[in-house]
A and B are shown apart, each in its own frame.
Chain A
Amino acid sequence: MVVVNPGAVAAFGATEAVASLQPIVWHEPRDSYDVVIVGGGGHGLATAYYLATRHGITNVAVVEADYIASGNTGRNTTIIRANYAIPEAIRFYDHSMKLYEGLEAETGAAIFHRKKGHVWLAHSEMGMRTERARVLMNQAMGVNTELLGPAGVKALVPQIDLTGGGRYPVFGASHHVEAATARHDRVAWAYASGATSRGVHVIQHRPVTGLLRDGPGGRVLGVQTAAGPIHAGIVLSAVGGRVSQLAAMARVRLPVRTHPLHAFVTNDFEQGLAKIVASTELACYVSQTERGQMLIGAEFDSQPSFSRLSSFDALRSYAYKITRLLPFLRSMRILRTWAGLCDISADFSPIMGETGVDGFLITTGWGTWGFKAIPAGGEALAERIATGRTPALIAPFGLDRFRNELAMADQASAGTR
């Protein structure tokens, strides 16, 4: 008997993956902490990590309704980039991108961070106008993004069909050289490991059912859970998906709507798509994971919803769009599809900091841009909690900007719509 093509065992397999795990330490919960962070996703865990490592604040609990990274942190398409269009966003995401670059060295955790470059295609003159503006603004902010013509795109992405399936011709692209990907749950685990090893408590399967307040309109004093209250000096909502409901418990109303966003992966293939490829007009994007899968996402559902069931309408539309650009994907099989919940703010930018209620801070509006912001968002909120002062990096992203008519409108950089 002969085994047909046994192939080579992948250089990096499950055994190596397990060997690179860092331990997460689970503590017995207490009933009071200096800081309670609601939401054990990337932002909540990163904030806890930076409180512990940058500010020595470890009497902190992260309270998660399900398991850590079970929300959008474990469901996104793992792209890290700073090629936004407005200076405030470029500065913030560029800082986050740099923190990501150093995260493996800082934490010792393998997050499979790989620099790839992000090629953002344009299929019309107006599309090129958008990419040209992006390049100019990025360069002015010191971010390495260059403008490409069709030949330049072809050189970076040889598989591309420059006719766009005859419908979406490639006029050119912006190429954001430093863009990267990282394994999403690994990022959450790196922060969980770093935080819990320093004494931070991570409490899973503990949905928050209410907020403790010092009388109506008074300071927030902690959270109520099904398993009893947890008192806190300060409460940070780092919730994804149910943020409007949590904020409402403090009578904070948000310019946020929650929409499902779908994604899917193919089976594993040898590495061959070096770049992250995206299209603004088609609102879709693809990258190849470390395992070799093609990871594909597109625009979020137009209607708000809290359902995380996959949608065939989304799948067929994404599959149609991405195969106009990369026809080789047509014969690749889809391994798995899933959906996450994106909290989309009214101006397509995040909301971080004060809520107007004492003792209650928020980080939300992460829409489809939350993964790339985890390090910078966590670091900045930790600084706000520790010092009582809002760092300049996130000051433009306060909830009060809507009241002050200072929107941070940058929908064209969301990568989706």
Chain B
Amino acid sequence: MTDGSISGSGGRIVVDGRPIEFAAGDSVAIAIMRSGKVPGGGGTLCLAGDCGNCLATVDGVAHVRTCEVEARPGTAVAGDPGHGKPPLPIVDGRDLTRTPIGRELGVRRIDVDIAVIGGGPSGLAAAAAAAAGGGNVLVLDADSGTEVVAIYPGRSIVAREPAGMLHVRADEIVVATGSAEIQPVCPGNDLAGIVTSGAAERLQAAGVGLGVAVAIGSPPSGVACTVLDGRLIRFEGDATGRLRSVVTTNTDGSEMTTACDTAIVGLGRAPRDVLARMTGDDAISLVGSVADEHPLPAAPTAGEICRCMGTTVDDLASAWDAGYTELELLKRASWAGLGPCQGGACLPHVRAFIAARTGTVPEPFTARPASRQITLAEAAADTTIDAFRRTPLHDEHLALGARMDRFGGWWRPWHYGDVVGEYWAVREGVSIGDVSTLGKLVVSGPDVVEALERIYPCHVADIKVGRSRYALLLNERGHVMDDGMILRTGESRFVLSFTSGGAANAEMWIRDWVDTWGLRVHVMDRTMSLAAINVTGPHAKELLARLGLAEPPRFLGHLEADIAGVPCHVMRLSFTGEAAFELHHPVDGSVTLWRALLDAGRDFGIRPHGLQALFGLRLEKGHVIVGMDTELDTTPHRLGMDWAVRMEKPAFIGKAALERTSRLPDTRRWVGFAMDGEAPPEGSPILGRDGDEIIGNVTGSWTSPLLGRALLLGWLKRTPFPDRVVINGREAVVTATPFYDREGLRARA
């Protein structure tokens, strides 16, 4: 088929481990053909990117059309198994060095007025016309190395370039992608040695000989071949799958067999309009042969109709006869069009098949991205999600041996290696915790009291300057969204705090309502401006006194004070059950303050505590953690927190819903449990006393070092609510919370 001589070798590529020489400008497919072989697993080659017959694994990427890849020295090609399947690229995820295109790809981004896809004569003419009209025009041409992969809504074009990915946004898109050659469907069309007219011309131009060639249909120009007049009946080959002869009709209808090395088929064209059909956007127009009406081929009668999937015309007929009698059902039932070329080769034939049976030509099936395939790495180029936040004390925690974990979008210390030790430091000495992640909003304005009275279910107006109140944040359904403190810092100025995970949502919530109501309220988010350290334990007050806080606020009071030279908003509250002071301060003073606290508390055995200890401490107090203990429909009542809701208020968000649902039976309740032995895992099912029915689940569980028992919080969802249940095979007793210091004397101390 070829003499293999190369004038001007471009170097060698490696095909299935063997080097072959290529000529400068060869595609991998042409280089393979120049060497006397055929890429892919047989079938008609178009060498124009339309069929799936020249696939191979190129440089580790499987299912690459070799006709679309320029041969470069060292390009490694592993024959893609025609209809077989390549192995998964890499088996061991530890070997990250072997991701062939594992580098993070860059993205170039361009905004243009008009993008023209296709650099052929009609595309260039359209581009010239657009440029003459004053538009900013970009031509995207696959032959010049810019392959458009897809058009997405918003006229957003994704393309692959030699150096990475190209994302284009255009006001108008002109599709000038031309047309594809129709592939023959007849017996033997899976043999190797069949090419389209266009492919024959390309091979001729590349100097690749075709051997003894015959042409059926429109012959190629400038290619030496015998032109057969008759209709194509079948191809015949040898046992190796190679074409040996072509059978066509004589003028009298009899069969004529012509021996050949190569059969060249020119059976007409079909528009290459997949890109144009992807979004159905008005601002996408078609020019050139992609816009032309092309007649469908004759209805196929035998042979492989979909080379990618191996669907034969007989298969199509069988599926049709089984009732799969429309294009979309037929495609899915017969697999025709589901392969790498996505129907590029078979769709005209399938439509002709249906038209012959129904008398109506069906619309083409849906065009979905991607028309030219991209790898996941190419799709993910320059994609970044999840910016995790670090508190100013991040490095301090690491230096103290903390195991950091992501929680609510922040890196936080889970523990410092000794959860029980951290616990005891809080209960019996003094400890510090990094609570910088708490949500913090400053609100002020003439309508601020009115706004907060509407937002919160508790009273706000009667909070005195310098005092604070714990508050739930409810949604319109009366369900708990978040909780935190309301601190009054002036007649018309408040600081609001929220949970770490709920802060962003709370800010949006409050801004939304203030906008909606049109109230005169300023809102400043200080969450990332202020760090916060919780100083807690029996010696907390004394520790702070050593650092300059002579007159600490009393319980639920707050004040401004310099501590260790750092200006702090000192809040007296307690989540741990011990005396606790939250020191909110500018982030640039945080390390100074943290170190000063650790230094000054050394003789108290001060140590920092992580989240795990904090969860245990709060559990002993029965404090809720919104999100961990609560569910979608958790009302204050179900939490046993009716005290936090003032139904006598004229209005607040969620009040109407709470009035409505308060008349419903009381069927879900969040309660405390105590049991002997080790604490069961959080999430454990709670069973009824006879142990055969699940009646709830554990949301918090902790073996209390102080009480020597397992303490739990969780849901009961069957009435009547029992007072004894079974958890983890053991009996647990419903127990009032808090489990520890019921009167709250220690927190107030």
Contacts and interface: CB of A to CB of B under 8 A. Distances in A.
A99 interface: no
A58 B15 CA distance: 61
B304 to A, nearest CB: 9
A323 interface: yes
Interface stretch (B376-384, B527-535, B562-570, B640-648): B376-384
A336 B368 contact: yes
A144 to B, nearest CB: 16
Contacts of B309: 13-14
A316 B381 contact: yes
A405 B633 contact: yes
B91 interface: yes
Nearest to B687: A140
28 contacts: A1-B261, A2-B38, A3-B240, A4-B79, A5-B80, A7-B82, A8-B84, A14-B311, A14-B334, A18-B315, A18-B334, A21-B322, A67-B328, A136-B684, A204-B326, A268-B63, A269-B85, A315-B369, A326-B93, A331-B62, A333-B61, A333-B374, A334-B379, A335-B373, A336-B342, A336-B369, A336-B370, A407-B631
Contacts of A406: 633, 667-668
Given A1-B36, A23-B322, A272-B88, A330 B152 contact: no
B41 A3 contact: yes
Given A3-B192, A331-B61, A332-B89, 18 more contacts: A1-B36, A6-B42, A7-B41, A9-B83, A14-B310, A14-B315, A18-B315, A18-B322, A67-B328, A134-B683, A136-B683, A269-B86, A330-B375, A331-B60, A333-B62, A333-B374, A334-B375, A335-B342
A125 B325 CA distance: 53
A315 B684 CA distance: 37
A185 B334 CA distance: 12
B323 interface: yes
Contact of B91 (A272, A311, A347): A272
A7 B39 CA distance: 12
A67 B330 CA distance: 11
Interface in B392-425: 405-407, 414
Given A7-B83, A137-B697, A159-B93, A333 B64 contact: yes
Contact of B694 (A87, A158, A327, A328): A87
B580 interface: no
Interface in B283-315: 306, 309-312, 314-315
Contacts, number: 315
A309 B102 CA distance: 29
Given A4-B56, A133-B697, A311-B152, A159 B368 contact: no
Contacts of B87: 269-270, 272
B97 to A, nearest CB: 10
Contacts of B664: 404-405
Given A14-B312, A19-B318, A331-B100, A140 B685 contact: yes
B333 A136 contact: no
Interface stretch (A160-168, A356-364, A371-379): A160-168
A7 to B, nearest CB: 2
A256 interface: no
B192 A137 contact: no
A133 B683 contact: yes
Nearest to A135: B683
Contact of A315 (B16, B64, B318, B379): B379
A68 interface: yes
Nearest to A26: B323
Interface string B69-97: 00000000011111111111111111010
Given A6-B41, A13-B309, A21-B319, A330 B334 contact: no
B537 interface: no
Contacts of A329: 376
B376 A322 contact: yes
A141 B332 contact: no
Contact of A269 (B88, B100, B306, B333): B88
Nearest to B334: A18
A107 interface: no
B9 interface: no
B35 to A, nearest CB: 9
A270 B62 CA distance: 12
B241 interface: yes
A334 B370 contact: yes
B34 to A, nearest CB: 12
Given A14-B334, A159-B88, A319 B697 contact: no
A319 B405 contact: no
B158 A18 contact: no
B442 to A, nearest CB: 29
B1 A1 contact: yes
B40 interface: yes
Interface string B531-555: 0000000000000000000000000
Given A320-B380, A332-B375, A409-B631, A337 B368 contact: yes
